[in-house]
């Protein structure tokens, strides 16, 4: 059986240690934690971990001193190390003399960043293939007693035990069954004598000794789960606050709020995220990775602009204030429960005010956060909660930024090229764009420079730069420098679509031309096509050629450019006779080029290469 990798995390900040445990524990890794360099060295010698995640700055030893000590000891000299630092690649120069340092990761990191790095490291090392590790435990954790200290009801196991306890239980089961599992290859050679395989293997694996071992291993986990929670552990890390039922708590100065919320949502968690900024406490409720409710406890500010709420009974307001302070229940929900608000209005108002509360939280600057796991959210959340898109809130926050130095760091020149990110289509529904953002985004295709985008969408240069900065920051687009060969190779591999009734004079000769290219491309004729948008959306071609005779070609081009999921498809109009006026109008409508019959291969090649 392949051994599950053991990772030692050495970091003085409790929040970072919990974040790493949060991310890697979900994927089945075994973890051990140390809060300073000396304890990390001791654990490294004792446990012989398969990888060490080492903080660059520790209270007693810096990362270099830890690496020096690891190199001097026979038991630790070959242990691979990944350096964690907020300075990112700037620290690389300090670790060139330490061969055991195999990679670096910048804080704060997202779950995909950390998981991909760990997977890549183990793939480079000879001892492991991460894909062969034990499967991740993905059930929703939670201890009903964690927040109150009361004895929990003995509910389903998936609700009773935390992920850490399940990992301990899994290891206990493995140790108890290890000998029997190792003997399976030998058992496979035995003659079953007609016996059913299930009871045959069960009798041999679940021997009395093995069952005793299982019970001995699981008993401590069970006792811990049903017992009252332990007293809070003292934590020296700055900014850390131990909270009842908290999985992670700390300062957003260390873990920026958007990254923290994406981390929780990406892992599909359910629970409550509390954010404290000055006198305001914002409550964010997340259900299986979806942010569904955001509110805060400053009632008058929260209800600002909410004209649907009229005069409120003083007792109802007092109750609402108590509820929002006690458990974060939005004042709108309390008002609906006491008849101060029509229930039919609740969902829309919660969503509208929640969007504003989320934007205010993202714009508030550093503060304190506490994340608490929950097995389930209150019934009113299920009834009235509606998904709030964090990406959209972040885009709205970025619209208010007017710092040219930040913009210029992303958009460096008018000769720069941008393309859509790989998950563009999947993430597109999360956003609501302004008409200007839409026009700019429609022209981002990896072929047109910033200058060409400015010219083709008719938006001022300064505004285009700001929009490109925002779209980059929310990871919808990315810079590809000033060349786009990789993008064009992908476009060349797509088929060419044509709308032209001249089969003998255009379609068949064009098909031969494309077939005889150095890189052949198939031709898909779309004759006739009653719905160009649907046909193009289905095929996502590398080039569309449209004969403008007898149809409103300009309207077709405008429709394609308005449909963001296909607005990057290259379009070329075909004219029967050359006409400067027609060419000018078609280009203005959204065509990338206008060709005149007869068609030539060099023109098609230029279009496919993006050099038109």
Q: Record the tokens describing residue 329, joined without a space.
A: 């229940």
Comparing 546 with 520, the larger pLDDT belongs to: 546
- Output the pLDDT for position 349: 93
Q: Whole-angstrom Cα distance, residue 245 to residue 232?
A: 10
Q: Record the tokens describing residue 150, joined without a space.
A: 């009361």
Comparing 179 with 162, the larger pLDDT belongs to: 179
Please determine, for residue 135, whether its predicted confidence score (pLDDT) is greater than 50. no
- Smallest CA-to-CA distance from 271 within 254, 251, 239, 293 is with 293
Q: Whole-angstrom Cα distance, residue 111 to residue 378?
A: 27
Q: Record the tokens describing residue 180, joined without a space.
A: 């029997």
Q: Among 130-139, 378-387, 579-588, whose mean pLDDT is lowest?
A: 130-139
Comparing 69 with 88, the larger pLDDT belongs to: 69
- Output the pLDDT for position 202: 75
Q: Among 17-31, 227-241, 323-337, 464-478, whose mean pLDDT is lowest?
A: 227-241
Comparing 218 with 588, the larger pLDDT belongs to: 588
Please determine, for residue 441, whether its predicted confidence score (pLDDT) is greater than 50. yes
Contact predicate 376/140, CB 8 Å: no
Q: Record the tokens describing residue 482, joined without a space.
A: 């000033």
For each of the domains in the chain, give its residue range(s) and CATH number, in order of start.
Answer: 6-132 (3.40.50.2300), 157-226 (no CATH), 246-393 (no CATH), 401-483 (1.10.10), 487-609 (3.40.50.2300)
Please determine, for residue 327, whether its predicted confidence score (pLDDT) is greater than 80. yes
Average pLDDT of the segment spanning 344-357: 93
The model's pLDDT over 184-241, given as tens digits with 9 standing for 90+, comes to 777 776 665 556 677 777 777 777 767 766 776 676 666 555 443 333 333 333 333 4
- Output the pLDDT for position 126: 59
Q: Whole-angstrom Cα distance, residue 373 to residue 272?
A: 7
- Output the pLDDT for position 611: 53
Comparing 453 with 150, the larger pLDDT belongs to: 453
- Smallest CA-to-CA distance from 501 within 545, 557, 456, 559 is with 545
Please determine, for residue 141, whether its predicted confidence score (pLDDT) is greater than 80. no
Comparing 272 with 246, the larger pLDDT belongs to: 272
- Output the pLDDT for position 450: 92
Q: Among 3-12, 107-116, 279-288, 382-391, whose mean pLDDT is lowest?
A: 107-116
Q: Whole-angstrom Cα distance, residue 479 to residue 465?
A: 13
Q: Record the tokens describing residue 414, joined without a space.
A: 């008018």
- Output the pLDDT for position 597: 85
Q: Record the tokens describing residue 290, joined without a space.
A: 């979806």
Q: Record the tokens describing residue 130, joined without a space.
A: 């991460």
Comparing 319 with 266, the larger pLDDT belongs to: 319
The 3-class SS string of 573-595 reads EEECCCCHHHHHHHHHHCCCEEE
Of the pLDDT bands very low, low, confident and very high (cuts 50, 70, 90), residue 387 is very high
Preceding peptide of 528 cis, ω within 30°: yes
Beta-carbon neighbour count of residue 445 at 10 Å?
Answer: 23
Instruction: Among 40-54, 79-93, 251-265, 523-537, name the most confident range.
Output: 40-54
Q: Residue 337 burial (CB < 10 Å; 0-12/13-18/19+)?
A: middle
Of the pLDDT bands very low, low, confident and very high (cuts 50, 70, 90), residue 144 is very low
Across-strand partners of 276? 281, 368
How far does the chain reach from its first CA to its final CA, in angstroms? 58
Of the pLDDT bands very low, low, confident and very high (cuts 50, 70, 90), residue 112 is confident
Q: Whole-angstrom Cα distance, residue 345 to residue 343?
A: 5
Of the pLDDT bands very low, low, confident and very high (cuts 50, 70, 90), residue 514 is confident
- Output the pLDDT for position 49: 92
- Output the pLDDT for position 153: 36
Average pLDDT of the segment spanning 444-470: 90
- Output the pLDDT for position 225: 52
User: Which are the contacts of 461, defined by CB distance < 8 A and separation ≥ 6?
Assistant: 414, 454
DSSP structure class, residue 396? H
- Output the pLDDT for position 228: 36
Q: Record the tokens describing residue 354, joined without a space.
A: 């929640």
Average pLDDT of the segment spanning 539-556: 88
Average pLDDT of the chain, as a whole number: 80
Beta-carbon neighbour count of residue 404 at 10 Å?
Answer: 12
Q: Whole-angstrom Cα distance, residue 317 to residue 287?
A: 28
Which H or E run includes 101?
Answer: strand 101-106
Reduced to 3 states (helix: H, G, I; strand: E, B; else coil), residue 56 is coil
DSSP structure class, residue 522? -
- Output the pLDDT for position 88: 63
- Output the pLDDT for position 599: 79
Q: Residue 4 burial (CB < 10 Å; 0-12/13-18/19+)?
A: buried
Please determine, for residue 445, whether its predicted confidence score (pLDDT) is greater than 90. no
Of the pLDDT bands very low, low, confident and very high (cuts 50, 70, 90), residue 365 is confident
The model's pLDDT over 289-318, given as tens digits with 9 standing for 90+, comes to 899 999 999 999 999 888 888 888 889 899
Of the pLDDT bands very low, low, confident and very high (cuts 50, 70, 90), residue 247 is confident
Contact predicate 119/130, CB 8 Å: yes
- Output the pLDDT for position 193: 53
pTM: 0.64
Contact predicate 45/21, CB 8 Å: no
Q: Whole-angstrom Cα distance, residue 573 to residue 596?
A: 8
Q: Among 454-463, 503-512, 523-532, whose mean pLDDT is lowest?
A: 523-532
Average pLDDT of the segment spanning 535-539: 85
Across-strand partners of 546? 499, 573
- Output the pLDDT for position 444: 92
């Amino acid at each position: 059986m392949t051994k599950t990798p053991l990772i030692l995390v050495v970091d003085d900040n409790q929040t970072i240690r919990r974040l790493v445990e949060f991310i890697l524990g979900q994927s089945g890794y075994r973890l051990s934690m140390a809060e300073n360099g000396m304890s990390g060295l001791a654990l490294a010698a004792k446990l012989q971990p398969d990888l060490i995640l080492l903080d660059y700055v520790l209270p007693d030893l810096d990362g270099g001193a830890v690496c020096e000590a690891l190199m001097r000891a026979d038991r630790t000299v070959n242990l691979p190390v990944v350096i964690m630092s907020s300075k990112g690649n700037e620290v690389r120069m300090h670790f060139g003399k330490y061969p055991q340092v195999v990679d670096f990761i910048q804080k704060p990191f997202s779950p995909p960043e950390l998981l991909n790095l760990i997977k890549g490291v183990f793939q480079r090392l000879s001892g492991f293939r991460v894909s062969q590790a034990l499967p991740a435990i993905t059930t929703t954790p939670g201890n009903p007693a964690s927040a109150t200290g009361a004895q929990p009801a003995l509910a389903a196991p998936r609700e009773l035990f935390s992920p850490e306890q399940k990992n301990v239980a899994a290891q206990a089961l493995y140790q108890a069954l290890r000998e029997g599992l190792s003997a399976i290859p030998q058992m496979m050679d035995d003659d079953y004598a007609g016996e059913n395989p299930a009871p045959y293997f069960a009798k041999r694996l679940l021997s009395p000794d093995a069952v005793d071992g299982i019970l001995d291993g699981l008993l401590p986990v069970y006792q811990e789960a049903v017992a009252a929670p332990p007293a809070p552990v003292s934590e020296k890390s700055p900014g850390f606050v131990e909270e009842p039922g908290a999985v992670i708590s700390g300062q957003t100065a260390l873990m920026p709020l958007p990254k923290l919320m994406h981390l929780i949502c990406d892992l599909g968690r359910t629970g409550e995220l509390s954010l404290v900024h000055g006198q305001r406490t914002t409550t964010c409720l997340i259900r299986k990775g979806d942010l569904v409710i955001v509110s805060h406890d400053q009632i008058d500010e929260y209800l600002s602009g909410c004209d649907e709420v009229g005069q409120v009974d003083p007792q109802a307001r007092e109750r609402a204030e108590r509820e929002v302070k006690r458990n974060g229940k939005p004042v709108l929900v309390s008002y609906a429960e006491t008849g101060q608000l029509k229930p039919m209005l609740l969902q829309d108002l919660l969503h509208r005010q929640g969007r504003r509360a989320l934007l205010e939280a993202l714009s508030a600057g550093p503060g304190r956060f506490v994340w608490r796991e929950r097995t389930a959210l209150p019934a009113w959340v299920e009834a009235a909660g509606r998904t709030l898109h964090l990406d959209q809130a972040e885009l709205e926050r970025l619209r208010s930024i007017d710092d040219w130095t930040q913009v210029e760091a992303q958009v460096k020149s008018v000769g720069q090229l941008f393309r859509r990110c790989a998950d563009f289509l999947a993430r597109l529904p999360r956003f609501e764009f302004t008409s200007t953002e839409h026009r700019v985004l429609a022209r981002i295709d990896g072929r047109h420079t910033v200058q060409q985008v400015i010219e083709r969408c008719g938006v001022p240069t300064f505004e285009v730069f700001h929009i490109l900065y925002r779209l980059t920051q929310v990871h919808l687009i990315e810079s590809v420098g000033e060349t786009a060969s990789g993008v064009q190779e992908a476009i060349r591999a797509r088929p060419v679509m044509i709308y032209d009734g001249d089969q003998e004079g255009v379609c068949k000769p064009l098909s031969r031309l494309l077939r005889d290219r150095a890189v052949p491309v198939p031709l898909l004729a779309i004759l006739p096509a009653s719905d160009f948008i649907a046909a193009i959306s289905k095929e996502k071609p590398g080039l569309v050629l449209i004969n403008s005779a007898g149809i409103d070609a300009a309207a077709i081009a405008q429709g394609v450019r308005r449909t963001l999921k296909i607005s990057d498809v290259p379009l070329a109009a075909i004219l029967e006779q050359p006409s400067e006026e027609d060419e000018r109008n078609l280009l203005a409508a959204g065509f990338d080029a206008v060709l005149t019959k007869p068609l030539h291969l060099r023109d098609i090649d230029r279009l496919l290469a993006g050099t038109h």
